[in-house]
Amino acid sequence: MWRSLWRSIDRFSLQYFKYVINELRQIKVVDWHNRELVIDLLQSIVELVTYGDRQDPLIFEYFMEYQVLAEFVRVLKISKNSRIEAPLLQYLSIMIQNMNSDHSIYYCFSNDYINNIIGHKFEFGGDLALYYVSFLRAVSNKLNKDTVCLLLKVYGDSVVSFPLYNEALKFAHHGEKMIQTAIRALTLSIYNVSDDMVYQYITSAPVSKYFSDLVSSLSNQFFHLDALVHATEMRTNQKRKELLLETDKIVDDLYYFNDMLGVGQSRLSTVVIENLLRMLIFPILLPLLQLGQSNGSNLSAVTSFYTVSRLLQVIGGKGMFNSVAGVILYPYMTSSVRDAIERDSTESISHAKSILSEMGKVVSSSPETEGAENSSLPRDTASNKRSGILAHVFSDNPSLSLASLFLLFILAEAKDLHPLLAQMIGLNGMQNMIAVDGNIGNLLVKYMDQILNALLKVLASQPPFSILIQWHTGWFLRKLLILQGKGLGDHNFELLNSSYQQSRECLQKELDGCWFDHIPEVLRNEWPNCKAALEESSQCKDPFFVLELDDSQQATDGDATSYFAWKRMVETVKVFILYLQLKSCIFKGELLQEPLLNMSSTIADSSKTHASDIASASFGSEVSLRSGIPCTIAFSNAGIRDIYLIPKARETTGKVLLAEKHPFRSQRGVVLAIGPLAGLNPKVDEDHPTWLHLQIREFEPKLHKIKVGHQSSGMSNHVADGRWTLGFSNANACEAARLSILEEIRKQRSSVESILAPLLQDSYPGNLSETESQDE
């Protein structure tokens, strides 16, 4: 009977809406027996309210007049283990999300019904937390400066409770990433619409504990990162993957802090910056710079520099830059500089002034730094190099040296840095700055020769450091050369020239390796990448490199496959490009746009007609056997077969073919197998002089590039190389075949050397010895 009545009433009418409301009010208890009925009623109410908000004002007026939201609260209270909470929260979220008019939203947030639902004592199990947080998020999305006050509990002129915010924070550190993300979005929505009264509540204890908890959690992540950095049981590839995952999480958290500061509310910004400085930055920098006593639980120096550098890059801001610079430069400040900063009334320097005041107390009470408060940069150069950040800059550990220099570069290039602090570092705009007195020193300028010398020693080290260390050292060297604006001194010049010669010799050795045929292509492909890397600014450069420098020296477990030979060749080319660009930077004042390669001979050769069809041969195609060398090979599935070996080089490409005589054409053969000429490394078997062993490269660089683009596992790169063993009629025939292969390889290598000849000359991009003599 009831179903026939429902069919007779328009589903989207006021009459039907009244009927559904009455039905819901008849429910005295919600259990498993009537759960589905209640869910249907709630769904109908939400659909009708949404429709009424847009199409029928009478429906929404009835919704308001008869306090229908109170029924949702009542349903929650009369539920007895029916698990009605999840669908109820879901339908409420849908209803709030679909409300368009300010009038509707204003009503929903009035009368404390939403607060009652938010404050209901839910038993969070299963997916209920997700539904609850989605409901909170839906409410926060509809907040504005006019409606936020409807969800507050106020006493006098003060907020005493903010249920939406308070309950949301309980899920701030939930294990489900989706929930964490929703809560952060919710808090940012609140911060963007709050007034001074709300900010007073948010930034005062005990609610403000949220910010200190965030910083504490971030600090724990950095300690976990530090443990990963120093883990010794993991393989390099796996360790790098773990480090990347952990740093990605950290950067996500840092961007959340950045978003909070981006709201632009001074009270919020102050509490965020103060927590970061006092709970994270200050405890890291003091023991790192030997300005305070260690508590025995400090981060390692490299991770500490990564932490501060990444925080400055992502969060930044005048307060943060000036405070960090104030701590780092404190040991080198004259009293006049400190007085000038303390007299500055600019709001952006307030944090730094506070930090400097505390630094004075810390330094004066620390036995290790007694007398540092009166230190001055020009007084004792040797002492300065052994203290503060300079102790790390001049460290024998290149990882530590580069990490500390990187932090200085970030500070020096910051537009928000106080002029006096920027002048003390001495990287940008020094000529436009007015010194407070003549004793203000510029760290990087004062120690320029020593820093350049330390970097060049890293490049000239024997045995050489890893490609990673060399490349990042080159990046720093170029930055400092631009700053210096003049040539190198004699000793530093010799170090650079020695490093360049070393890189050229390594490249020439690769011409005897198994990937020499790919060197011109790799050089052309890597040139723009390397140029872009050298030109990268400090703010854009990811400090992740400082975490992996120590591991970059690990061996490849003795693996001699073509994959690792390929990696070595590519790294050798990159190092050679680095030195060519550094030479150009010194002698021309700019980087080279592209490499000068001798392509004329290749172009000339390519215009000739070739009688041989070997260059275009593929599996199953026909080729001429006139240059073939008869031999035999044993296939696992086909036994021993008579074949022809055909090695052939054409310009920079080369192939070796195995072909079987065509059954009907005596001078033609059918290709059975193809391999690259380079890397064959033909060897006669010591025990069987009629056997010739050939090594076949199985690694495919182009396929590897595609896999890397899809973030494939590093294990897929470890492909075992192939091996062919050919049998000949006698030892002389076997030796003749080996020499024939070597001759074709020589031709191919000669073409590659011809292309690279201009780059391998001393006069590219300028004769070093001549330039040096001119400078003298």
Distances (CA, A) of 380 to 376, 386, 424, 486: 8, 10, 16, 26
CA-closest candidate to residue 423, choices 341, 306, 535, 319: 341
Per-residue pLDDT band at 693 (split at 50, 70, 90): very high
Tell me the average pLDDT across 740-751. Answer: 95
Question: What mean pLDDT is predicted for residues 608-625?
Answer: 70
Burial class of residue 2, CB neighbours in 10 A (0-12, 13-18, 19+)? exposed
- Residue 2, pLDDT > 80, answer no
Fold of 612-756: PH-domain like (2.30.29)
Choose among 557, 388, 398, 391: nearest CA to 472: 398
Two tokens at 773?
Answer: 């003599």
Q: Tell me phi and psi for residue 691, to 5 degrees.
A: -105, 135
Judged against a pLDDT cut of 90, whether residue 136 lies above it is answered with: yes
Instruction: Classify the C-alpha dihedral 316-319-323-326 as positive or negative.
Output: positive
CB 291 within 8 A of CB 363: yes
- pLDDT at 775 (0 to 100): 46
> What is the tally of helices (H) and strands (E) in the chain?
35, 10
Separation CA 582–CA 592 (nearest Å): 10
pLDDT at 507 over 90: yes
C-alpha distances out from residue 261 to 270, 320, 327, 523, Å: 9, 11, 22, 44
Answer whether the bond into residue 464 is a cis peptide, omega within 30°. no
Q: Please give the Cα distance from 335 to 339 (Å, whole number).
A: 6
- For tokens 């509990």, the residue is 153
Question: DSSP 3-state assignment of 623?
Answer: strand
Overall residue count recorded for the chain in this entry: 776
Residue type, 330: Y
CB 121 within 8 A of CB 67: no
How would you write 52-63 as a 3-class SS string?
Answer: HHHCCHHHHHHH
Phi, psi of 152 (to 5 degrees): -95, 155
User: Are the beta carbons of 476 and 402 closer than 8 angstroms?
Assistant: yes
Residue 371: predicted pLDDT: 45
User: Which residues, in sequence order, are CB contacts of 245 under 8 Å at separation 6+?
Assistant: none
Q: Predicted confidence band at 200 (pLDDT cuts at 50, 70, 90)?
A: very high
The pLDDT value recorded for residue 318 is: 87
The whole-angstrom separation of Cα 230 and Cα 225 is 9
| Mean predicted confidence (pLDDT) in 262-275 | 93
pLDDT recorded at residue 163: 96
Q: Of the candidates 212, 298, 216, 315, which has an alpha carbon nearest to the alpha carbon of residue 259?
A: 315
SS3 317: coil
User: Rounded mean pLDDT of 80-103?
Assistant: 91
The full DSSP string for 559-627 is --SHHHHHHHHHHHHHHHHHHHHHHHHHHTSS--SS-----HHHHHHHTS--S---TT--TT-EEE-TT
Range name among 124-138, 153-167, 322-336, 421-435 with the lowest pLDDT average: 421-435
Q: What is the end-to-end Cα distance of the chain in Å, rounded?
A: 109
305/225 Cα distance (integer angstroms): 13
Per DSSP, the three-state class of 153 is strand
The pair of three-digit structure tokens given for residue 86, joined into one six-digit string: 């999840």
Domain ranges of the chain: 2-206, 207-342+355-446, 448-597, 612-756
* Percent of the chain whose pLDDT exceeds 70: 82
Angle between helices 177-193 and 236-262 (to 10 degrees): 20
Which segment of 232-236, 318-322, 524-528, 764-768 scores lowest on mean pLDDT? 764-768
Query: Residue 344: what pLDDT?
Result: 65
Residue 431 structure tokens? 């000529």
